[in-house]
Chain A
Amino acid sequence: MKATTLLFFLFWTPLLAQDSERNNTLLLADKFRLNGISTQKAFGKANENALSTTVRLTRNDKLIAMGGIVDSRGYVLTKASDCVGAREAETSDGKKYRLKIKKRDERTDLALYQLLSTDHVFPVLEWGDDNSTRTGSWVLSSYSMLKEIRAGVTSGTPRKIGREGGVMGVILGAEGDGVGGIRISSVVPQAAAYKAGLQEGDVITKVDGRRVKTRDQVVKFVGSNDPGDVVRIEVKRNSILKSYNVTLGHRSVTFDLFNRNLQMSGPVSKRKDNFPRIIQHDLPLPKNSMGGPLFNLQGECIGFNIARVDRVTIYALPSFLVRETLSKFLGK
């Protein structure tokens, strides 16, 4: 027994070290880390601004999304597709308010809500332009409970994120093997095509009634639909023609079944594509903390967190886009 323990010690490898409990005593104390209490304190006013102008949007006391107060009458912006069913809002002072939805915008995935209160004047976030979002700039947001912040840096070049069409969850074989269509070389388990009944070896002949001869045609015809849309797929199986209705899935969710990264990422936002422009950063925030404001070192709001992409990537809509949408909401 003793020998075994020592062997483990001697030939301990990073592979085995995923359980880091063994050497916890040798690790840097939590409070001195990037997101430790000491570092958080250094953010001073920015820290206070983040906490006082961010709200928790809940249903039955369960956090659904975060939001940011953009008007002293209690107007709050949040991520529209994550906020469905929110009934109450909680501010950092622990007060709770009933909620009313005012507007939604498909393009930016933002929604405007109002906290219902007769006399309260709410603290409003200050806007900053997004010039400060050069890669490697400090950014921060309120953490889920509105007691702490999370800090990090802008981690990639601001850019447009294109649309991801729906997918069936199949791997297509090579063209031109003389079968007059495109053969399915494998079916992703539990994904859309699998659930609909498509099988490995099926030869796709038509998509929504249109004859397909090349891989590109299949990809194009299927991909022109959104996740959730139903596509009619005709196949030849052992020379018998069959037809299936496939309810398309999200590309990321479907193929990420294979992706160990995302298995270890925890839940990610369902909509994380098709944004006119985003700021990428690395704050460790869960999926239900999207919709809240993102601040710079000066405590100005430079964007709204709009999608948790994976364990190290969050997209935020830059403030100019958010303000543009807000003006539209308020009819200005």
Chain B
Amino acid sequence: MNSIYRAILTVFFLPYTLLLKGESTVHEWNQIVPENIDDLLKIQVRLQSLLPKVQGTVVSIEANDGAGSGVIVSKDGLVLTAAHVIGSSNKKMFVRLPNGKRYPAISLGGSELSDAGMLKITKPGSWPFAKMASQGSTSLGDWCFGLGHPGGFDKERGIVVRVGKVIGNKDETMQTDSRLLGGDSGGPLFDFNGHVIAIHSRISKKPDENFHVPIESFLANWDFFQNSKLFTLSKMEKGGFLGVACKETDDGVIIIDAIEGTAAEKSGLQPNDVILAVDGEKIDNREELTILLSSKNPNDEIKLEYERKGISQSLKIKLGARPEE
């Protein structure tokens, strides 16, 4: 989603949603905490009504060197998963639908930074697919449920479901207390609207603080991933380097610091500048900025558009090289 669309949303829909909040009923699944058994029962009924609708979109992914999970998100068979499940681009793999049928697929792109990965079923067909949540639609405390095939496909057991809450959502990582096992990797996390909000990435030592790739990472880098480009950490080390520390806010990607001695500092970028675009490409999140910059080489020149104190500005900057740690 680009920022113009976001701006439209903000202008037209924000007051409306504020109005709604005052009078409309709050669904239990959006309530921060259920208060009694009735609330819990409504959550259960909601979950059980969503399961049959979304389960058919969850696949088990089988490659030579292991198994993972994924979710179909388009009629023509695009599948979202984790980067560490696909490993590399243009790799032949198989996906298995819940009915046990196997279909050939090929890995597309992704990013090792967020662990987002994409593949496509190569057999033509009209595939069942899940809807994705739109950017910024997930908040801390939202109820969610994870689906996956831990340990590979098991027809008798079926798809495994676990319920939880969003406990952290920052930059390239979402955290939930929905429990995960390694083989769940690449499986979808749904909100209680039945939309995909994230992809399972890594387990934490604490069973109740697991890591997921937020859907925003896919949305911001969709074309890059779909064009079979895989952003690797080694590419990041060798690529162009600006030298800004950033954070994501509701206003966009904001500079926290322009590191001393880097291209960013030399060009005059300052904390609180909002980064709008690089070479005309709108920046939706921090990962997209990193991918764009690292895809350049040191000494390449970029055009950076940013906003300072409400005024849009533009700079030409010659990138440096990433300092070795």
Is B162's CB under 8 angstroms from A14's CB? Answer: no
CA distance A164 to B209 in the complex (A): 32
Is B34's CB under 8 angstroms from A39's CB? Answer: yes
CA distance A157 to B159 in the complex (A): 8
CA distance A209 to B24 in the complex (A): 77
Q: Is B207 an interface residue when CB atoms closer than 8 A count as contact?
A: yes
Q: Is A240 an interface residue when CB atoms closer than 8 A count as contact?
A: no
| Least CB distance, B281 to chain A, in whole angstroms | 19
Number of interface residues of A (CB under 8 A): 56
Is A38's CB under 8 angstroms from B172's CB? Answer: no
Task: Find chain B residues with CB under 8 A from A39 CB.
Answer: 33-34
CA distance A264 to B183 in the complex (A): 13
| Least CB distance, B119 to chain A, in whole angstroms | 20
CA distance A156 to B181 in the complex (A): 14
Contact with A along B145-156 (1 / 0, CB 8 A): 100001000001
Q: Is B23 an interface residue when CB atoms closer than 8 A count as contact?
A: no
Task: Find chain A residues with CB under 8 A from B259 CB.
Answer: 3, 6-7
| Chain A interface main SS type | mixed
CA distance A33 to B244 in the complex (A): 34
Is A33's CB under 8 angstroms from B32's CB? Answer: no
Number of interface residues of B (CB under 8 A): 70
| Least CB distance, A184 to chain B, in whole angstroms | 22
Is B113's CB under 8 angstroms from A27's CB? Answer: no
Q: Is B161 an interface residue when CB atoms closer than 8 A count as contact?
A: yes
Question: Which residues of A from 4 to 29 have beta carbons under 8 Å from B?
Answer: 4, 6-7, 9-15, 17-18, 20, 23, 26-28
Give the contacting residue for A17; candidates B48, B162, B166, B173; CB below 8 A: B173
Task: Find chain B residues with CB under 8 A from A33 CB.
Answer: 164-165, 167, 177, 208
CA distance A267 to B57 in the complex (A): 34
Residue of A14, A157, A312 most packed against chain B (CB within 10 A): A14
Is B36's CB under 8 angstroms from A42's CB? Answer: yes
Is B33's CB under 8 angstroms from A32's CB? Answer: yes
Is B158's CB under 8 angstroms from A34's CB? Answer: no
Q: Is B35 an interface residue when CB atoms closer than 8 A count as contact?
A: yes
**Contacts A38-B33, A280-B157, A312-B162; A138 near B167 (Cβ below 8 A):** no
Q: Could you write out 7 A-B pairs with CB less than 8 Å apart?
A: A20-B175, A28-B141, A33-B208, A38-B33, A43-B40, A261-B182, A264-B203
Closest 7 CB pairs of A and B: A28-B167, A38-B33, A312-B179, A261-B182, A6-B245, A42-B34, A156-B157
Interface residues of B (CB under 8 A from A): 32-37, 39-41, 43-44, 47-48, 51, 112-115, 140-141, 145, 150, 156-158, 160-168, 170-173, 175, 177-183, 201-209, 211, 213, 233, 236, 244-246, 256-257, 259-261, 290, 323, 325
Interface residues of A (CB under 8 A from B): 2-4, 6-7, 9-15, 17-18, 20, 23, 26-28, 32-36, 38-39, 41-46, 134-138, 152-153, 155-157, 159, 259-261, 264, 280, 282, 284, 297-298, 310-313
